[in-house]
Amino acid sequence: MFAKILIANRGEIAVRIIRACKEMGIATVAVFSEADREALHVSLADESICIGPPPVKDSYLNMTAILSAAVATGAQAIHPGYGLLSENARFAQLCEQCHITFIGPPAQIISKMGDKDEARRTMVAAGVPVVPGCDLVPDAQTALREAKRIGFPLLIKARAGGGGRGIRLVEREEEVENAFLAASSEAASAFGDGACYMEKFLRPVKHIEMQVIADQQGNVVCLGERECSVQRKNQKLIEESPSPVVDEKTRRQMIDVSTKAAKAVGYQGVGTIEFLYDREGNFYFMEMNTRLQVEHPVTEMVTGIDLVKWQIRVAAGQPLGFSQEDIRLEGCAIECRINAENPSQGFRPSCGRVSLLHIPGGPWVRFDTALYQDYFVPPYYDSMIGKLIVHAKTREEAIRKMQAALCELVIEGLDHNAEFQMDVLEDEEFRNGTYTTNLMEKRGWV
């Protein structure tokens, strides 16, 4: 096992990883930007190193500074968290070259799956159903030809896209050529890669994803599904496990397909395979995230498995301590993402000093956050400031528990979306479980 791990991230996920390391007796190194001197992850870690100015490109994405910090402190492994460098194959490769373990899959698996077009083709080869569509489109004429074949509406997707960005909806034939040109030039400036492919826009659909974990011995276990259909602008807001619509037979199929897919690519570490799920119960591969997921806690709550600890163990070469037969989804877990934004002002991001903080408690209530009283939330980073997670025997009880916990949550000094989350929980389609990814548009909550 590693003696010391550097955490190349910030916020709640850095805190989450430091906690796991502490419980495992592993020393921790935090890295931080000049805006994060007072951040919680810095005070919780055993050591900390400043890696540059506030913008992420100068600090949390500064590979040289992070690797130098690891070498200087003698860290044997780097945990990248999610976002930032977590799906950066070049960074994983640099870690290997510095003889530091990157806690994640090998660099070539990250690049295979991070290229959403190659991932699609890999899944087709592995016998996984994918959304009807096409491979990379070289020019606007081909886009038009392929679009007519696929049918409308369709999505133009950047192969390098992520975090809900790099996706464009096309409703009509006349729009295809211009949309394609705009999409690829946008992708070129956002991701440094203009390549795009197209997919049929399925609706109404649910977003249902499967959590897998694989060790270096070739064992793959699937920890069931999470439903993440409550989204705004393709970004998840509420996640739950199990999905209220997936029956045991479909779950088995999705587990089999996901395990097969992970084995086909020789996967290692934790990963998430995202599917679209239609009204008939058909599911189609959308993409694979080769990292720890923001919403991993809901899976932890229903399976009783600490994903971060197992992620560290398999990265250190230990075999999985459980098999597929041991996995049962017990009860229901729900997560609400708490974002520093103002829903009544177009979800404008907010920052400021936390003048009053009260974190809800009680049985089976969990709040993953890096906030503390008087902490200043800086303007430079992701607006997610906490994740409220509850677990109960039934979905109805979990919803009531979430409502009570949201009521209790107090964060003063900046705007946040807790009340908005309450409105979503009240929604009839959310209540009966039939909600799909267009819930926000349908309610005019965009």
Q: Which residues are catalytic?
A: 291
Q: Which of 243, 268, 350, 437 binds ligand ADP (CB under 6 A)?
A: 437
Q: Identify the helix (H) or strand (E) that includes residue 358.
A: strand 356-358
The span of 55-63, 138-146, 197-205, 266-274 binding Mg ion (CB under 5 A) equals 266-274
Stretch 267-306 residues interacting with Mg ion (CB under 5 A): 274
Residues 267, 106: Cα–Cα separation, whole Å = 8
| Interface with ligand ADP, residue 319, by CB under 6 A | no
| Interface with ligand ADP, residue 436, by CB under 6 A | no
As measured in angstroms, the least distance from the Cβ of 154 to Mg ion is: 17
As measured in angstroms, the least distance from the Cβ of 189 to ligand ADP is: 12
Q: Identify the helix (H) or strand (E) that includes residue 353.
A: strand 352-353
Which of 116, 366 has the CB closer to Mg ion? 116
Q: How far is CA 329 from CA 30, 303, 355, in A?
A: 34, 5, 39
Name the closest residue to ligand ADP (Cβ): 83
Residues 45, 352: Cα–Cα separation, whole Å = 24
Which of 229, 268 has the CB closer to ligand ADP? 229
Q: Which of 211, 215, 222 is nearest to 311 (CA)?
A: 215
As measured in angstroms, the least distance from the Cβ of 380 to ligand ADP is: 13
Stretch 230-249 residues interacting with ligand ADP (CB under 6 A): 231, 234-236
First to last CA, the chain: 47
Burial 230-266 (b: 16+ CB within 10 A, else e): bbbeebbbbbbbbbebbeeebbeebbebbbebbeebe
| Interface with ligand ADP, residue 156, by CB under 6 A | no
Which of 274, 397 has the CB closer to ligand ADP? 274
* Packing angle, helices 107-114 and 116-125, rounded to 10: 100
As measured in angstroms, the least distance from the Cβ of 76 to ligand ADP is: 25
Burial 347-365 (b: 16+ CB within 10 A, else e): bebbbeebeebebbeeebb
Stretch 108-127 residues interacting with ligand ADP (CB under 6 A): none
Per-residue binding letters, 1-20, with ligand ADP (x by CB under 6 A): --------------------
Q: Give alpha helix (H) positions in 269-352.
A: 296-303, 307-315
Give the one entry of Mg ion, ligand ADP, none that residue 254 binds, where binding means its C-beta sits below a cut-off of 5 to 8 angstroms depending on kind. Answer: none
Q: Give alpha helix (H) positions in 238-381.
A: 248-264, 296-303, 307-315
Contacts of 125 (CB under 8 A, 6+ apart): 264
Q: How far is CA 319 from CA 220, 257, 310, 322, in A?
A: 10, 22, 9, 9
The amino acid present at 334, given as its one-letter code, is I
Give the one entry of ligand ADP, Mg ion, none that residue 143 binds, where binding means its C-beta sits below a cut-off of 5 to 8 angstroms depending on kind. Answer: none
Per-residue binding letters, 371-390, with ligand ADP (x by CB under 6 A): -----------x--------
Per-residue binding letters, 267-306, with ligand ADP (x by CB under 6 A): -------x-x---------xx-x---xx------------
Q: Which of 322, 252, 262, 242 is nearest to 283 (CA)?
A: 252
Which residues contact ligand ADP (rule: CB under 6 A)? 82-83, 131, 155, 161-165, 167, 199-203, 205, 207, 231, 234-236, 274, 276, 286-287, 289, 293-294, 382, 437
Which residues contact Mg ion (rule: CB under 5 A)? 274
